[in-house]
Amino acid sequence: MLVQELADRLIQWLKQQLADRKANGFVIGLSGGIDSAVTVALCKRVCPDSTLGVIMPCHSDPQDALDARLVAEAFNVQVEHVVLDEVFDLMVQKLTGLAFYNENAKDLSIVNIKPRLRMTTLYYYAARNSSLVVGTSNKSERTVGYFTKHGDGGADLIPLANLVKHQVRDLAQYLGVPRPIIEKAPSAGLWAGHNDETEMGITYEELDRFILTGEGSDYVKGIVEKLYNRSEHKRQLPASPPF
């Protein structure tokens, strides 16, 4: 499928979702990364006056907020800026008794509080504006569970869910996402220096190729299979009794 056709079909899908759900607009978390940039660009084309980008630093790299602002300015998107540092610190203190969290510990039970606080923030704005929360995960991330359950995985719509990472990059170029965002190293921003590919142990190029063709080294196949199986619960509804 040509990238223009893909963009047009996604825009039409978003329009239909908006109509079916009788919503007024879209709310997107702007991380400063390529996925949220493409998502907000698509949503802006559907709702030029009711697409809201929310920047939510939480002990984050300051460059991420600057990059998010760059995206918002590129697409003329209304922005709310909500700093979650103090909320996160209070949660950590209440749950662990620690006066502060050492970012170098890379404790997922703690750092996953960040995307869950962001999800809560997005749903506040969505409820206030009768809007839909639009997630930014892509197929590569969803295949290996590279998202936080009830965090960035919590959304009403996920338009990029069937696109691997390189397809998102193609869309970014077509939609006019700023070059620094397209070239930025992928990161969930859970801790300082966090890098998606380093944590996964494989590159997005290797992951995309395996998803689309089933081809890859034994090492890549092993990594993907392990991550897919370990994250199966993230892609399912909560379990319930069969009676």
35-53, pLDDT tens digit by residue?
999 999 999 999 999 999 9
3 state SS for the chain: CCHHHHHHHHHHHHHHHHHHCCCCEEEEECCCCHHHHHHHHHHHHHCCCCEEEEECCCCCCHHHHHHHHHHHHHCCCEEEECCCHHHHHHHHHHHHCCCCCCHHHCCHHHHCHHHHHHHHHHHHHHHHCCEEEECCCCHHHHHCCCCCCCCCCCCCECCCCCCCHHHHHHHHHHHCCCHHHHCCCCCCCCCCCCCHHHHHCCCHHHHHHHHHHCCCCHHHHHHHHHHHHHCHHHHCCCCCCCC
pTM of the model: 0.93
Q: What is the mean pLDDT of residues 230-239?
A: 91
**Predicted pLDDT of residue 191:** 66
The chain-wide mean pLDDT, for the chain, equals 93
Judge whether 64 counts as a catalytic residue: no
Q: Which two tokens stand for residue 29?
A: 């978390």
Q: Which two tokens stand for residue 151?
A: 């965090």
Q: What is the mean pLDDT of residues 139-157?
A: 94
In which band, very low, low, confident or very high, does the pLDDT at 103 lie, cut at 50, 70 and 90?
Answer: confident
pLDDT higher at 186 or 162: 162
Q: Which two tokens stand for residue 49?
A: 């006056």
Annotate 141-150 with b (16+ C-beta within 10 A) or e (fewer).
Answer: bbbbbbbbee
Q: What CATH number is given for 3-198 in this structure?
A: 3.40.50.620
What whole-number distance in Å separates Cα of residue 160 and Cα of residue 128? Answer: 25
Catalytic one of 35, 67, 196, 206: 35
CB 42 within 8 A of CB 172: no
Write down the residue that tokens 């991550």 correspond to. 227
Catalytic one of 67, 141, 206, 208: 141
In which band, very low, low, confident or very high, does the pLDDT at 158 lie, cut at 50, 70 and 90?
Answer: very high
CB 53 within 8 A of CB 79: yes
Judge whether 141 counts as a catalytic residue: yes
**Predicted pLDDT of residue 101:** 78
What whole-number distance in Å separates Cα of residue 199 and Cα of residue 201? Answer: 6
Q: Sketch the domain layout of the chain as residue ranges.
A: 3-198
Residue 189 has pLDDT above 80, yes or no: no
